[in-house]
């Protein structure tokens, strides 16, 4: 069968447009109802503050209310489980940090794995980890601090504020055998 060039080009253009049409047909307005932003920490802390600022920003741009829902506890596992159990429709978001990812490694009996069970949308904030010491401590570097801790067992103490810091301390203790 001989196909004239003009007919061939019309068919080719039509075939190329079919996938685009199906995408357009599937597109729906989003969001059509409020969006839940679940935070795994209590109100008033850094993650809650950031999520409220971002929630307000999203609400203004999306034209829908963004509800901040604090679900603290279990090192963010409660919040992660709530999001993973929700329908995958974009109406439930999770504010999570390194501690949420570390849970996957620390707790082998979790019914979820955030690396595979949720899809990252955006990075919001970077929390630096800082090691500080009182000026009376006679050290200037981490190596000197570790040596000082080894030579003064039981006299060097540490404070932390979250799971990530606890993990870093555990790794440091195991790697360096610091008392």
Handedness of CA 90, 91, 92, 93 (dihedral sign): positive
For residues 135 and 104, membership in a common domain is answered with no
The answer as to whether 7 is a domain residue is no
| Threshold 0.85, pTM exceeds | no
Residue 83 lies in a domain: yes
Has residue 16 been placed in a domain? Answer: no
Alpha-helix residue ranges (DSSP H) falling in the chain: 5-26, 46-62, 77-85, 98-106, 114-117, 142-151, 163-176
pLDDT of residue 174: 45
CA distance 47 to 44: 8
Distance between CA atoms of 139 and 148, rounded to whole angstroms? 7
What is the rounded distance in angstroms from the CA atom of residue 69 to the CA atom of residue 52? 10
104 plus 133 within the same structural domain: no
Q: State how far the Cα of 104 lies from the Cα of 5, in Å rounded to an integer.
A: 59
Q: Which pLDDT tens digit goes with each residue over 105-137?
A: 778 888 988 888 988 888 887 767 778 888 999
**Structural domain tally of the chain?**
2
In a domain, 8, yes or no: no
Q: Which two tokens stand for residue 150?
A: 């080894």
Q: pLDDT digits over 61-107, tens only?
A: 999 999 999 999 988 899 999 999 999 999 999 998 877 877 887 78
DSSP letter (8 states) at residue 89: S
**pLDDT value of residue 43:** 94
Q: Which has more confidence, 147 or 176?
A: 147
Same domain, 52 and 98: yes
CATH number, residue 55 = 3.40.190.150
pLDDT at 173 over 80: no
110 and 152 co-located in one domain: no
Q: Where is 176: in which H helix or E strand? A: helix 163-176
Place of tokens 């993990």: 167
Q: Give residue 41's domain range.
A: 35-117
**Residues 83 and 38: beta-carbon distance below 8 Å:** yes
Residues 145 and 173 in one domain: yes
156 vs 55, residue with greater confidence: 55
49 and 111 assigned to the same domain: yes
In 3D space, the residue among 88, 80, 90 whose CA is nearest the CA of residue 112 turns out to be: 80
């Amino acid at each position: 069968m001989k196909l004239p060039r003009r007919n061939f080009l019309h068919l080719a253009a039509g075939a190329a447009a079919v996938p685009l049409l199906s995408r357009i047909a599937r597109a729906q307005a989003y969001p059509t109802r409020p969006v839940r932003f679940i935070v795994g920490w209590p109100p008033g802390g850094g993650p809650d503050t950031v999520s409220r600022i971002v929630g307000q920003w999203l609400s203004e741009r999306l034209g829908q209310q963004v509800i901040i829902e604090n679900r603290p506890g279990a090192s963010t596992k409660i919040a992660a489980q709530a999001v993973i159990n929700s329908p995958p429709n974009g109406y439930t978001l999770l504010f999570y940090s390194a501690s949420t990812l570390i849970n996957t490694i620390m707790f082998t009996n979790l019914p979820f794995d955030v690396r595979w069970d949720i899809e990252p949308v955006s990075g919001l904030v970077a929390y630096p980890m800082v090691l500080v010491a009182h000026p009376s401590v006679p050290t200037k570097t981490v190596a000197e601090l570790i040596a000082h801790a080894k030579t003064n067992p039981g006299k060097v103490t540490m404070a932390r504020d979250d799971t990530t810091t606890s993990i870093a301390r555990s790794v440091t203790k195991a790697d360096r055998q610091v008392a």
